Every structure is written in structure tokens, then in C-alpha cells.
Structure 1
Amino acid sequence: MKKALVMLFLALIVFMSGCIGTQTTTLTTTAPAKTVTITETQEKTTTITVTQTVTTTMVPTHYPLTIVDSAGRKVTIEKEPRRIVSLAPSITETLYFIGALDKVVGVTKFDDFPPGVQKGRTVIGGFSDPNLEVIASLKPDLIIGTSMHLKYLDKLQGIAPVIIVDPRDINEIYKWIITLGKVVNREEEAKGVVNYMKAIIEDVEAKVANSPRPKVFVLLSYWNGYWTAGRGTFIDSLISIAGGENIFHDVEGWKAVSAEEIVARNPDVIIISYHAGVKPGDLCDTPLAKTNAFKNGRVYVISDDNLISRAGPRIVLGLEEIAYFIHPEVFNYAYQPRTCTVSS
């Protein structure tokens, strides 16, 4: 229910954004009266008072706008973008929440939020392999991608200005929501989204502040090792904010670790990505069954990977779910034990 309320509130922000977004404004004013004296023949003089109406068109004045993107590049936006190609689902979601989805003309085949987002828009390919010819055919005035797209940067810049957005933690997600708000002329709406995200995060932090910090392991993928998130990732930030201790915080970025390393660090809680390629019961025949997490039935599966893998506004929903797993006693969360005996 709470998650539904959060989504409803965020959707309300989007609706209001569409209503109050900064637009070109026409202002009509009445200028001071002007007196005109006309002298006619036969020494007859006529005085006429003329009232003038002046119409002024007011447009946003913060363009051209120069920003520094995640790749350290200075990018200048000459005018308000009207045709945007988004190269990542997280970017599309962010533009949606700040009320700028109407500007998006191209999305990837993985974009699935908001529901029906691909309808009426051109699918430009995958996340890691966008089709440059299709992008060019859309005649965009702005392309927004991630560090994954740096290898295409030269060709993309030949089509339109390119912004690389690659936040590594919650604070950088805030920063980029605000920055994109400025870029697309939706700054106030972006601030509203960030303020609401901060309110949810502050609520979680306050509730777990006096609780012990269990050791947590997040399993993102079970392919050629146990892939997890270390320091410098937003998942690491979520674990900390939710009142846990990431057992691989000393590892930089994303990394595959061994079962022996996991057992040696003995997590109290294991959180498995929904699409990790493995279920809790599948791990009962592995060394992970020796960890406190399995012994005490503290192994969980996240309901939607996108909540923790996409660096956008919905990440606060992922935070709440992780907090429920780590501190069920604080949030009155009733979980089903995932011990190996039960799973078998």
C-alpha cells in the first residue's frame, strides 16, 4: 500500500508538472496615454488622446545553458530542447517524473516505465547498442546517454548535442534530476521530485537510526561468479541508508566475488536480484548455505530489479524495500523464512 501511495504521489508531481511547466508567456500591458495635437486649416486645432496597448512575449532567458556532464565535458544547450532521444530507461523515467516526457521522441527497447512509454515513440535499439541511423532520422535537438555510450560519442555528437548522465550514488541522482530539469526547462518540477525523494529517505534514516547494522550481501547476477555492488555504486548507498553494512563496501564498483569470500564475510542478510538467474533454494547446495543469512531465514528476492538498478526517482521505492529486508522489526514487515530446509 505504501509503495502505491509513493507512486501515486510521484505521478501527481508528473501531472502537475504538465500543468505548471515553464512555458512561453504573453503579457499584455497598457502604455501611458499619448496626446497628439493636430493643427488643421482655418486656425482650427484638435487635441486627441491615444491609449496604446503593448504586447510583450516573455520566453525563458536561461538559454544558452552550459553544463558539465558525468564525463567531465562542457555541453552547451542553445535553446530549450523539443526533440530528445533517451538512450537509457533511467533517463526516460527521470524525464517523465519532471514532466518532460512529451519532449522524448526516441527510447530504447528496454524502456518500460511509465507503462506504454514506447507507444508513439521510436525505439532506437538496445541500451548498449543503439541504432545511430534511426537516431539521426528523428532529427533530435538533444541526446542523453550514459557512460555506456561514450564509445559512440563522436558519431552521436554529429547528430545533436550529447549529455552523459552517470550518477554513482543518491546525491548524484539528486544532482542530475535537478540538472536535467534545468536543461529541459522543468527546474521547479525537478526540485519537487527531489524534495519528495529526500523526504522518503529521511524517514527511512530516522527509523533505522538506533538499530544495529546487519551485514548485507546483494547478489545481482549469478553468471561467472556472484556479481555484487561495491563502493561507489548507488546500491551500496541504498544499503547504508537502509541501516545495513555492505560486506563488499571495500570493493570498487561492480565485481564478481567467490562463494568463499561471501562465506568468510558471513552476511546476516542476503538480497537477490529478481533476474539474478538464481533463486534462494538454488543456493542451498552452495557454500552460501553456511551463512547466517541462510541459517536464520534472512534471504530475500527484490520485487523489481529496476527499483535498484535504475538511477532515477523510483530508486526510493527500492530503498524502502531493502530497508524492510534489513530491518523488518522497524517497519513491521512480515517475511517468509528462506532457509534451505524450507526452500527444499
Structure 2
Amino acid sequence: MKRAIPVFLLIVLVWISGCIGGGTSTIPTTPSAPETTTITKTEKVVETVTQTVTVTQTMTPQKYPITIVDSLGREVKIEKEPERIVSLAPSITETLYFIGALDKVVGVTKFDDFPPDVKEGRTIIGGFSDPNIEVIASLNPDLIIGTSMHMQYLDKLQEIAPVIIVDPKNIDEIYEWIIKLGKVVNREEEAVGVVNYMKAIVEDVESKVSNASRPKVFYLLGYWDGYWTTGKGTFIDSLITMAGGENIFSDIEGWKKVSAEDIVARNPEVIIISYHAGVNPGDLCNTPLANTDAVKNGRVYVISDDNIISRPGPRIVLALQEIAYFIHPEAFNYAYQPKACARCFFMTFSLFFNEDLLWVEWL
């Protein structure tokens, strides 16, 4: 009985083993998902893109045609850049030279003398006040530039080419006309440079005389049956003011003949004489002007070149400098030796006795 228990236990163990691993058993598994094949299809998509592109271009501005208002208030239209210019005045020729447009000038007057070789290769079209219309027409100009002196010829000249009348009355108007002519002939940058150069000289002069006294000045333009001088509205009048002086005839208009008595009554302290005035400083000792402070104190001067003061162009600033030297020599470290009129009378009287005593010391 005791032996039967182990056998019984063995049978139970075998039976349990059979239940666990005996025979063929199927272990349930999770069914696999069906196999899926992924096909990637590449399609070409064409899109229309509207794109705004900003292109910056540097373009030469169109300069012509241009319209210029001249000194007569006329609107003058310039269709294209002038290449054949007739200048009716030396001042205009000089201005065109300074702004680099002299190569465009085909005709000048017989009085043109600056630059020195200005007449070479150019046709003389007559005088300043009497230009030859036929000669001008033969040059086939595309622009004619004149002054108020040429108004009487305006109708005939306009039949030939556009005509610009230039007539500045003071240095500011000279500046304006240099710039205007620069635009007309396509030399604007050069014109601006010339004006800046002129303004630098003017500023230098004005700064030196700004705090000085203002001596009374008589400008003797010429002596032809009387004393001719310059008044208000002229560039010489404005130069005297800018140079630190007071024009004793600033109350008259333009260019006028005045009497010796009137000059003496206004008693100038400085007298400036044009180079071609027809009279020199020594001559004034034999006139009523000997009674003026200017002659008594020997403050009578002669301008070195009439053209720099009579032509309203770029060289006018050289005249300003010279006038300022005469009026305020101390401001520019100049030392003119006075020639007193009393000595003049003595020397004039002494001519009867000694021919060596002459008027050579006057400036």
C-alpha cells in the first residue's frame, strides 16, 4: 500500500505533463495584418508665378528742349544743344570761354580780345553796336547771344536763329546769367564752378572791409565835354558798395554826365578813373576837382584795365579787388604813396623853371 502511493503520484505527474505539453497543441497568435504595398507616385506640378521685378536704371536726363527767360522777359526756346553760337558782345564771349564753351563760338565782334587768341578761327561779325546781319546769317548759327544794345536788330536776328538778350545790372545778376548760359550750352557744372570761384573772391573782399569806414567815392568813367560817371542800377555802383565805399552819385540812374561843381559839392575822398577816361590824375589839379579831399590828399587812382570793370562777366571780380585796394589799401596790406594836390600846383608852377619836374609819380 505504501508502494502504491508513489506509483499513483507518478501517474498523476505524467498526466499533468501530458496536459501541459503532450500531443500537438496550437498556440493561438494574433493574426498578421495583410501586407500592404505603398507606391509613391511623383507628379510634376507646374505653377505660374507672377513676380514683380524693380529695375533701377541710371538715365541721362533729357536737357533739351529748354526755355530761358532773357533780360527782356522773353521766353526763348532752345530745341537742341547749340553748336554754332554768334556772340555779339565781348562780355558774352568771355563768359562762354570761362564755362568751357568757346569751341562752340563761330562769330565774335572786332572788340573781342579775351582770351588773347579769341579771334583766331572765328569770323568777325562787325562791331559791338553795329553787327553785320548778313555776315551773321552766313555763319548758319543755331544761337545768337546779345545785349540790350542789340534790341534794334532783334527782329532780323530772330529770323536767323534763337536770340537771347543778356543784360545784368549787378554782380548777382551776372552770377544768374553765367548759370543760365551754362544750362543753354550744356556746361552747367562748369558754370557753377565759375560762380563759386567768383563768390569766394567777393566774400574775401567783403569780409576784409566789413568793419571799415565807407569813404565817399567818385568814379570817373570818361571826360567828353563833361564828367561822365556811374549811378544806381549799374554794376560799377554795386562794386563800389561791395568794396566798402559810398558812390557819391548813387542817387542818379545809369550813366550820366555831371558837373564839376556838383562833384566838388559832394567832395569825394577817393576818385577812381577809367583807363581810357581821357584824363589822368595830374590833370585834375588844373580843374575845380582840385578842391576835393581826394585830390588834395592824393587819393586818385586809375583802374588798370577798363575791360574788367566795363564787361559784366567773370572777370568783374578782379575789378572788385582792385577797387577795394584803392578804397581800403590798409585792409589788404597795400601802401599807396599819397600825391598831394598842393605839391601838384607847386610842380606845375615849377615847370616854367625846371623841365625835369614832371607828373610821373601819380599812379
User: How does the TM-score come out when normalised to structure 2?
Assistant: 0.78
CA contact (8 A) 1:299 1:339 kept: no
Q: Deviations over 1:106-147 (max 9, x none)?
A: 000000001110011001010000011110000000000000
Question: CA separation in 1, counterparts of 2:271 and 2:302?
Answer: 9
More strand by share: 1
The amino acid of 1:63's aligned partner reads Y
**CA distance in structure 1 between the aligned counterparts of 2:290 and 2:68, rounded to whole angstroms:** 49
Alignment of 1:146-295 (within 5 A): 146-295=147-296
Amino acid at match of 1:171: D
Residue 57 of structure 1: how far off its partner (Å): 12
Q: Please, which moves more after superposition, 333-342 or 198-207?
A: 333-342
Supply the distance in 2 between the matched residues of 1:76 and 1:88 (Cα, whole angstroms). Answer: 21
| Partner of residue 99, structure 1 | 100
Aligned to 2:19: none
Relative to structure 1, is the Cα distance of residues 157 and 204 closer, same or farther in structure 2, using a 3 angstrom cutoff?
same
What secondary structure is seen at the aligned counterpart in 1 of 2:198? helix
Matched, 1:120 2:121: yes
For 1:85, what is the secondary structure of its paired residue?
Answer: strand
DSSP-derived class of the 2:107 partner: strand
| Contact 1:300-1:338 within 8 A present in 2 as well | no
Work out the CA distance in 2 between the residues paired with 1:252 and 1:338.
Answer: 32
SS at match of 2:256: strand
Is contact 1:85-1:143 (8 Å) kept? yes
Task: Give 1:129's aligned residue.
Answer: 130
Give SS of 1:163's match.
strand
Question: How many percent identity over aligned positions?
Answer: 80
User: Which residue identity is paired with 1:70?
Assistant: S
The 1:155–1:59 alpha-carbon spacing in structure 2 relative to 1, beyond 3 Å, is farther
Q: Is 2:86 the partner of 1:85?
A: yes
Moved more, 141-150 or 328-337: 328-337
In structure 1, give the amino acid aligned to 2:155.
Answer: D
Shift of 1:282: 1.3
**2:318 matched to which residue of 1?**
317
**How far apart are 1:273 and its partner, in Å?**
0.1
Query: How far 1:59 sits from its partner (Å)?
Result: 6.2
Structure-2 separation of matches of 1:289 and 1:333: 25
Deviation at 1:334, TM superposition (A): 2.2
Alignment of structure 1 residues 3-42 onto 2, 5 Å: none
- How big is each residue's C-alpha offset from its partner over 1:289-326, in whole Å with a ceiling of 9 and x where there is no partner? 00000011100000000111000000000000000000
CA separation in 2, counterparts of 1:111 and 1:60?
35
Query: Would you say the 8 A contact 1:242–1:323 is kept in 2?
Result: yes
Q: Is there any run of 5+ residues in structure 1 with no aligned partner, and where?
A: 1-55
Q: State the SS of the aligned residue for 1:135.
A: helix
RMSD over aligned CA atoms reads: 1.4
